[in-house]
Structures are given as C-alpha cells and as structure tokens.
C-alpha cells in the first residue's frame, strides 16, 4: 500500500508541513534489542516508515539499547532482518548507545541548572516515596544537595566509585505533580554491566524516559510516533527536550497498540516461552514474532495488508485473529500451487487396474489462476487416500468411501470399495476397490453421480512428507490487553499466562505429496486440496523429505 489511511497523525504532519513548522518529515522505529519483533511491532514499523515515505521523508532504525542487562546482538541482527523482510528500508541505522557521551553531558547540564540531583535512596525507597495517583509524593532528603556536590557525585558514579543501586541521578521537577512521571524521575542508574555496543566504557546508563527524547532530538526526528502506553510520558519527554536545551525539538504522538486475539504481544512473555522451552525458539511457527510468522508461511504482503486494514487510531481494541488469517489466504489464493497431499495415509488397491500400468493426468495448477499452467499427476493400481476418507461403518450423511460406496477420486476416476483388509488386531490396513474406466475425469461422463470427492496420491511415486498442524499457542479468550507494566504486577501476570498455554498447539502428521513436489525448497507455499495453505519449514525439512507447516486452513467466515 503506497499510503496510509487518513488518520490523526497524518493530519498533524500535513499541518506541520503546511505551516512550515517542519521542512522534512523524519521518523524512527526504535526497538529495544531485548527480543525478537512481534506482530504488534509491525504496526509501529509500518506507521513510522509509511507515514514518512508518504510525505517524502525518511525513517531511521534506531536500537534503543540503554538497558544492557537485557540486550543482545542476536536481537540486533534479527530485528534488522525482520524490518527488511517486511519490506522497509531505513535511512540510517543508529544505536542510542552511540549517544551516551552526549546524554551524559546533557545530564551534567541539568545538574548545573539545578534541575537534577544525586539521590542515595534505594529503588524501593524511591518507589515508596513517590506517592499515588491520589496523594503527592515526598521530597528526597538528598534533594537539596549543592550543584557542586551533585557534579562530583555524578562524576564519581561514572568513574565506578559506587556499587549498583547505591545512587541514582534524578530530575528535580515536582513531587506533587498529578503526573507521577514528573515526580523527580530517575534519569541515570549505576549498572556495572557489559554493553553489547559500548563494552565496559560505561557503568552508568540513562533511563529510557530520559534517553528517548534525547535520541529523537539528536537525530532530528520531527514526529516521534509510539504506542499509547507512552502517553503519560509525554510531559516528561517535552521537559527533557526543553531543559536539556536540545536544538531540535521533536514531538511525540501516540497511536493505539495492536492487540490480536489469542496472541501474545509482549517480548517479555515471548522470551519466557523461549527460555522455558514451551516453543522451539523465537521463530517457532506458533510464535507471533515476525520470524515465527515467516517460518509458518506468512508473507510480508499479507502482514502489511493486515496492518493497513487494522488502521491507526487512538483506541486499542483486540483484533480478531481471523482477520490476520484472512489476509494470508487472500495473498496466496492466486499465487500458491494447488496440489494434493495425503495426511495419515491409507492404502487403496484398485484390483481391476492392470498391474505394472500407469497413466498421467493433466491437472490445473490453480483453477482460479490459469496463468499458473498445468502439471502431470501419475495414477496407477495402488494409491493412498486419507484414513479420514474411509469408514467401515459410516454414520448418516457420510459420502466418502465405505464398503459398497462409490466416490470420485479428484482428477481421476470413480472408485468403489469392495473389500476391507485388516491386521490381526482388527485395524484397517488396506482397502480393495474397483475403478470404472468410463468415469475418467474430463471425459464428460454423466451417467451416474457420486456425492463424495476425495483426494489421493499414486503410491508408487508418492514422496513422504511431514505435516505440522497448529492451533493457537494460547487457549481461547486469552489475549494481550494493554497491561500496565508495573514491577509488582509482572510476576503474577506471567504465571496466569503460562496456565493458558494450549497443550495441543502442535500436531505432527506423516503422509505423502505428489512426486512433482520432491524438490520443494524452504518457504515454498502450496494450497493442499481440502487442507489449506502450507509452507515448507526452514528448520526441519531435509532434501527429499519436506516438512510442511500449515499456515491456515481453507475456510473462514471472516469478512472484511
């Protein structure tokens, strides 16, 4: 999509360009490299990149790497890969940590202006004296330290004279502000931690709320677009830009977070799933990460179209999971080769078909897209059908194969079941049928009709394959609502979400595919007759033995 739907941020940008307030739009996508990107991030990426591009502007990819304890170069790499894969090109690649010197100098400026002080209170004490929404906080006993003392202590913090947590630098604003974020927020903390970019150069790190506005200002960001949970931070954002006397003045605008039904969009929770091995990595096809969706078989087009359709608004509802699925079906409908795959096979011997003989049927690759041409599908005396397509004692309205019944084999002949072969334990191992040569597909045969059509694979040339069928990782009705990320709440919330893990989220099934598909490669996508859309798995497929992930089944009642 070349442009964004009309929305409030677009109105602001249009106005700012018209009034001359800004000359060029510069945005940024600022992930913290503490996990892989998920579907929620796709909205932030899309908004930042598409809005800037629409107005001839540019977008930086900036790693907000101010918290070394949780960050890693693995994430730096995966995030770049995912943004590119989604189809976006950044103007410049930046690291917040490249600005640590400047941030330090700006903090010193605040101290000199009497706008920041070193506090010896512990993190707990600071939290306890912060007050609540209804009651003001109280001033720290260290709040009135002299500028000289503050400068000396801050220098000492930087030089490594103090242990982690011994001191912090706090902005000096107003402990009775109705906005808790303005009650002398912490802006620097001590952390003797190796940083993926700056190594051991620093043992103090800026807090996110202080660092972020500076990063935006340093890069000349005009419109700093972020999700709604940062709304309460905006007054502090503006305070930092003003009090630090930044020459460029960026402005923050918030949009609603994207939440999808039965889908976790919190890196913290996703990391827990990986760390506790509930999934086989960040790119497990059940993960709502960009890399998981890619491995499952989503295309960048489908994701972008989905994001476009969910729109940009200030309200953050929960989007129907079926809406995401709708867009991958739409994208693959005319692109994917439609072939047959037999899951859980059952052998059928066509007793009146000559032994040693075979024939080839000419089959359309995609009946909705003739441009995709035709292919040849072999047929012979022995074929595989699905176990589910045969019942020895069928219920009412079962039109598939059962003793005495005739069905159509897709693209081939009518066959009739005559005999059921069982093993010693009574399990059906083979079905004996006869075929009627008159009923050949395409021959115009109309003398009799059958009610069931089933699919099959020629047994002599069938290629074995594995099929992985997924259900949502999280049981119905659980989704990621906007959660206040209070440190107190975190632990409890994590526990309840782990209780909601669906034990049946992965079903592994063996079967066969057509011989023409022997050489499929990772990420090839197909529609398997009656089963849905599948993608060749990039991790478990081996040459000659593909593993298919089911992206989505065929049917959906979802309407845009």
Query: Minimum distance from CB of 61 to ligand ATP (Å)?
Result: 11
Closest CB to Mg ion among 486 and 557? 486
Closest CB to ligand ATP among 28 and 167? 28
Query: Minimum distance from CB of 125 to ligand ATP (Å)?
Result: 26
Q: What is each CA distance from 449 to 61, 393, 406, in whole angstroms?
A: 62, 22, 9
Q: Are 347 and 401 in contact (CB under 8 A)?
A: no
Query: Minimum distance from CB of 32 to Mg ion (Å)?
Result: 5
Alpha-carbon gap, residue 386 to 509, rounded angstroms:
12
Q: Which residues fall within 8 angstroms of residue 347, CB to CB, at 6 or more apart?
A: 382, 383, 384, 429, 430, 431, 459
Handedness of CA 78, 230, 482, 495 (dihedral sign): positive
Query: Minimum distance from CB of 227 to ligand ATP (Å)?
Result: 3
Strand order in the sheet with 58-63: 26-29, 58-63, 93-95
Which member of 183, 267, 304, 550 is catalytic? Answer: 267
Give the one entry of ligand ATP, Mg ion, none that residue 546 binds, where binding means its C-beta sits below a cut-off of 5 to 8 angstroms depending on kind: none
Q: Give the pairing type, strands 406-409 and 453-454.
A: parallel
Nearest to 533 by CA among 287, 285, 288, 308: 285
Closest CB to Mg ion among 32 and 280? 32
Handedness of CA 170, 31, 269, 100 (dihedral sign): negative
Query: Minimum distance from CB of 503 to ligand ATP (Å)?
Result: 25
Active site residue 71: no
Which member of 257, 294, 338, 550 is catalytic? Answer: 257
* Residue listed under structure tokens 């991790």: 539
CA atoms within 13 A on the CB side of 106: 26
Give the one entry of ligand ATP, Mg ion, none that residue 185 binds, where binding means its C-beta sits below a cut-off of 5 to 8 angstroms depending on kind: none
Closest CB to ligand ATP among 268 and 347? 268
Query: Minimum distance from CB of 267 to Mg ion (Å)?
Result: 7
Closest CB to ligand ATP among 45 and 520? 45
Active site residue 257: yes
Structure tokens at 207: 């807090």
Q: Which residues fall within 8 angstroms of residue 280, CB to CB, at 6 or more apart?
A: 539
Give the one entry of Mg ion, ligand ATP, none that residue 57 binds, where binding means its C-beta sits below a cut-off of 5 to 8 angstroms depending on kind: none
The residue ranges that bind Mg ion (CB under 5 A) are 32
Alpha-carbon gap, residue 9 to 549, rounded angstroms:
38
Query: Minimum distance from CB of 11 to ligand ATP (Å)?
Result: 19
Query: Minimum distance from CB of 259 to ligand ATP (Å)?
Result: 6
Give the one entry of ligand ATP, Mg ion, none that residue 30 binds, where binding means its C-beta sits below a cut-off of 5 to 8 angstroms depending on kind: ligand ATP
Give the one entry of ligand ATP, Mg ion, none that residue 511 binds, where binding means its C-beta sits below a cut-off of 5 to 8 angstroms depending on kind: none
* Residue listed under structure tokens 């992206």: 551
Active site residue 32: yes
Binding-site sequence positions: 32-34, 64, 208, 257-258
Q: Which residue is nearest to Mg ion (CB)?
A: 32
* DSSP-derived 3-state class of residue 102: helix
Give the one entry of ligand ATP, Mg ion, none that residue 41 binds, where binding means its C-beta sits below a cut-off of 5 to 8 angstroms depending on kind: ligand ATP
Give the one entry of Mg ion, ligand ATP, none that residue 43 binds, where binding means its C-beta sits below a cut-off of 5 to 8 angstroms depending on kind: ligand ATP
Closest CB to ligand ATP among 215 and 514? 215
Residue count (the chain): 560
Checking 97-104 for CB contacts under 8 A at 24+ apart, the result is 97/63, 97/65, 97/66, 97/195, 97/197, 97/198, 98/197, 99/211, 99/214, 99/215, 99/218, 100/198, 100/201, 100/202, 100/205, 100/206, 102/214, 102/218, 103/206, 103/210, 103/211, 103/214, 104/158, 104/204
Q: How many other CB atoms are found less than 10 A from the CB of residue 554?
A: 12
Q: Which residue is nearest to ligand ATP (CB)?
A: 40
Give the one entry of ligand ATP, Mg ion, none that residue 345 binds, where binding means its C-beta sits below a cut-off of 5 to 8 angstroms depending on kind: none
Cα-Cα-Cα-Cα dihedral of 544, 549, 551, 557, to 10°? 110
Closest CB to ligand ATP among 313 and 358? 313
Alpha-carbon gap, residue 385 to 64, rounded angstroms:
54
Q: What is each CA distance from 256 to 8, 47, 305, 312, 480, in whole angstroms?
A: 12, 11, 18, 7, 13
Strand order in the sheet with 341-343: 337-339, 525-528, 532-536, 547-552, 463-470, 506-513, 341-343
Closest CB to ligand ATP among 41 and 183? 41
Which member of 32, 81, 91, 364 is catalytic? Answer: 32
The residue ranges that bind ligand ATP (CB under 6 A) are 30-32, 40-41, 43-44, 226-227, 257-258, 265-268
Binding-site sequence positions for L-glutamine: 64, 208
Binding-site sequence positions for ATP: 32-34, 257-258
Q: Which residues are catalytic?
A: 32, 257, 267
């Amino acid at each position: 999509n070349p442009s964004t739907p009309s929305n409030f941020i677009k109105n602001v940008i249009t106005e700012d360009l018209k009034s001359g307030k800004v000359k060029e739009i510069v945005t940024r996508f600022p992930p913290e490299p503490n996990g892989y990107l998920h579907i929620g991030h796709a909205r932030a990426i899309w908004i930042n990149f598409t809005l800037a591009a629409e107005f001839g502007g540019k977008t930086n990819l900036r790693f907000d790497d101010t918290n070394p304890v949780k960050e890693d170069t693995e994430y730096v790499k995966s995030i770049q890969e995912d943004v590119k894969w989604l189809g976006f090109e950044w103007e410049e690649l930046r690291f917040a940590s490249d600005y640590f010197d400047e941030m330090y100098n700006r903090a010193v400026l605040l101290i000199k202006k009497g706008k920041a002080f070193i506090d010896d209170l512990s993190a707990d004490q600071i939290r306890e004296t912060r007050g609540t929404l209804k009651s003001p906080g109280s001033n720290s006993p260290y709040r009135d330290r002299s500028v000289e003392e503050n400068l000396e202590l801050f220098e000492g913090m930087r030089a490594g004279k103090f242990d982690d947590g011994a001191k912090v630098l706090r902005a000096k604003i107003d402990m009775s502000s109705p906005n808790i974020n303005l009650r002398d927020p912490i802006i620097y903390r001590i952390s003797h931690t190796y940083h993926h970019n700056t190594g051991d150069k620093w043992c103090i790190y800026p807090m996110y709320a202080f660092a972020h506005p500076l990063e935006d200002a340093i890069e000349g960001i005009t419109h700093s677009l972020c999700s709604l949970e940062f709304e309460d931070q905006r007054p502090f954002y503006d305070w930092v830009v003003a009090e630090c006397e930044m020459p460029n003045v960026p402005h923050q605008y918030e949009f609603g977070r994207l939440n999808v039904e039965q889908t976790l969009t919190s890196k913290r929770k996703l990391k827990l799933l990986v760390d506790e091995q509930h999934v086989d990595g960040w790119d497990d096809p059940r993960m709502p990460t960009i890399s998981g969706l890619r491995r499952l078989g989503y295309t960048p087009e489908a994701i972008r179209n989905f994001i476009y359709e969910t729109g940009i608004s200030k309200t953050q509802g929960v989007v129907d999971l079926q809406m995401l699925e709708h867009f991958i079906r739409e994208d693959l409908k005319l692109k994917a080769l439609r072939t047959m795959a037999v899951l859980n096979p059952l052998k059928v011997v066509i007793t009146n078909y000559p032994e040693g003989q075979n024939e080839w049927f000419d089959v359309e690759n995609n009946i909705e897209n003739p441009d995709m041409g035709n292919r040849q599908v072999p047929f012979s005396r022995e074929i595989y059908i699905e176990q589910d397509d045969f019942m020895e004692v069928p219920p009412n309205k079962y039109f598939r194969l059962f003793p005495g019944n005739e069905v159509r084999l897709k693209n081939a002949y009518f066959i009739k079941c005559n005999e059921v072969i069982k093993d010693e334990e009574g399990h059906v191992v083979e079905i004996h049928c006869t075929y009627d040569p008159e009923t050949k597909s395409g021959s115009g045969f109309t003398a009799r009709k059958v009610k069931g059509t089933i699919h099959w694979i020629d047994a002599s040339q069938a290629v074995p394959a594995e099929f992985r069928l997924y259900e949502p990782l999280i049981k119905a009705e659980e989704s990621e609502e906007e959660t206040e990320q209070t440190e107190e709440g975190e632990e409890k919330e994590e526990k309840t979400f782990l209780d909601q893990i669906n034990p049946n989220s992965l079903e592994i099934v063996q079967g066969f595919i057509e011989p023409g598909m022997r050489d499929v490669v990772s990420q090839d996508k197909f529609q398997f007759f009656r089963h849905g859309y599948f993608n060749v798995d990039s991790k478990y497929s081996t040459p000659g033995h593909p593993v298919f992930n089911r992206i989505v089944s065929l049917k959906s009642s979802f309407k845009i």
